[in-house]
Structure 1
Amino acid sequence: MVDAEGEFVEYVSARLPSLHRTAFLMCGDAHLADDVVQQTITALYVNWRRVSRADNVDAYVHRMLVHKLVDEKRLSWAKVRLLGSVPEPELSPVTPHDEFAERDSLLAALAHLPRGQRTVLVLRFLCDLSLADTAAAMGCSEGNVKSQTSRALVAIRQLLDVTEMAERSAR
């Protein structure tokens, strides 16, 4: 029989890359994603005995991750600017033959979406959560998830079409 701490280590070891990916896709900032994942894992450790008895541990942890991200964004220190202006994100130039061009376009398009729309797309399509699990993770109704998904898909299609047209004209 595996003890609770062993189960926790096994769970986190298996899910850590996925949690980092999910957090990054939701917030678009690798450093913030690291912080949020660390806070989520810490809270998970403290509550592991209760969480491990949940029907769907992954859905519970996704909900914790979403809440930690929202909490992090609400903190006042996150709004402090150390520079006179916000620097432009440093993106490496993408050539048309670059195998990561689609990924970069998708990340850029996700970054332009509002947080709720970005979160719903990441959870539904990149984490492959069901409608019910996404609603539970976000703490909202299934109808809200459906409407956010619909709006997000329209917006991301428009953003990706604009990006594709700009790439074609640059060739």
Structure 2
Amino acid sequence: MDATSEASFAEFVRAQWRDLVRAAIFLGAGPHEAEDIAQQTLVRCYASWQRVTDATNRDAYVYRMLLNQLRDVRRTRWWRSRVDVEADGRVDDASSQVVLADAVHQALDGLTKEQRDVVVLRYFVQLTEAQTATALNIPAGTVKSRLSRALAALAGSHHLSELSEEHR
């Protein structure tokens, strides 16, 4: 990679790091695991930087890489055993931010994988419908229908309704 490409990549990493980690967390990874997934995604970006910069929609291309990296990690036996340990080891925290984050995560856990992917990319990462469709390799109409069903499920989630009742 030449110096110009190196500088371009370094700027991209500075601008995208936080959003990539946040997206991985909302897609179900723990904080440390999300950093690992974001880092592995950026390594893949570095290895194919020319394809990333040539992509029609760079954000969608990179978030597709993030989703693929997350799926690769979850396919391993290590991930399956680790999820069981984390589920058993949760500790409640009294802070309102932790309670809110937990309620959101639990509500998102109630969605199908496909619905969760659409909600995270559309609302947390703030991709457009077209970018979300490109990232997930599905038609834009499918993004809209999955999003509609996901929002209906979230509206009916007892995790979020219990939270809103506590703040009344």
TM-score normalised by L of structure 2:
0.83
Moved more, 77-86 or 26-35: 77-86
Rounded to whole Å, the distance in 2 between the matches of 1:164 and 1:61 is 35
1:111 aligned residue: 109
Q: Which amino acid aligns with 1:161?
A: S
In structure 1, C-alpha distance between the alignment counterparts of 2:156 and 2:63, rounded to whole Å: 28
Count matched residues: 165
Q: Which moved more, 1:78-87 or 1:9-18?
A: 78-87
Q: Please, which runs of 5 or more residues in structure 2 have no aligned partner? A: none
How far does residue 63 in structure 1 lie from its aligned partner after superposition?
Answer: 0.9
Query: Which residue of the partner structure matches residue 127 of structure 1?
Result: 125
Aligned residues: percent identity? 36
C-alpha distance in 1 between matches for 2:17 and 2:25:
12
1:15-51 superposed Cα distances (whole Å, 9 cap, x missing partner) = 1011111111111421221221111011000000221
Which amino acid letter does the alignment assign opposite residue 8 of structure 1? Answer: F
What is the distance in 1 between the residues matched to 2:125 and 2:70? 16
TM-score by structure 1 length? 0.82
Superposed CA RMSD in Å reads 2.7
User: Does 1:145 find its partner at 2:146?
Assistant: no
C-alpha distance in 2, partners of 1:110/1:81? Answer: 20
- 2:52 alignment partner in structure 1: 51
Does residue 1:37 correspond to 2:42, yes or no?
A: no
Deviates more, 1:156-165 or 1:5-14: 156-165
Aligned to 1:18: 19
Q: Which residue number in structure 2 is paired with residue 3 of structure 1?
A: 4
Report the Cα distance in structure 2 between the residues aligned to 1:24 and 1:158, rounded to whole angstroms. 23
Separation in 2 of the partners of 1:90 and 1:142? 39
C-alpha distance in 1 between matches for 2:51 and 2:15: 19
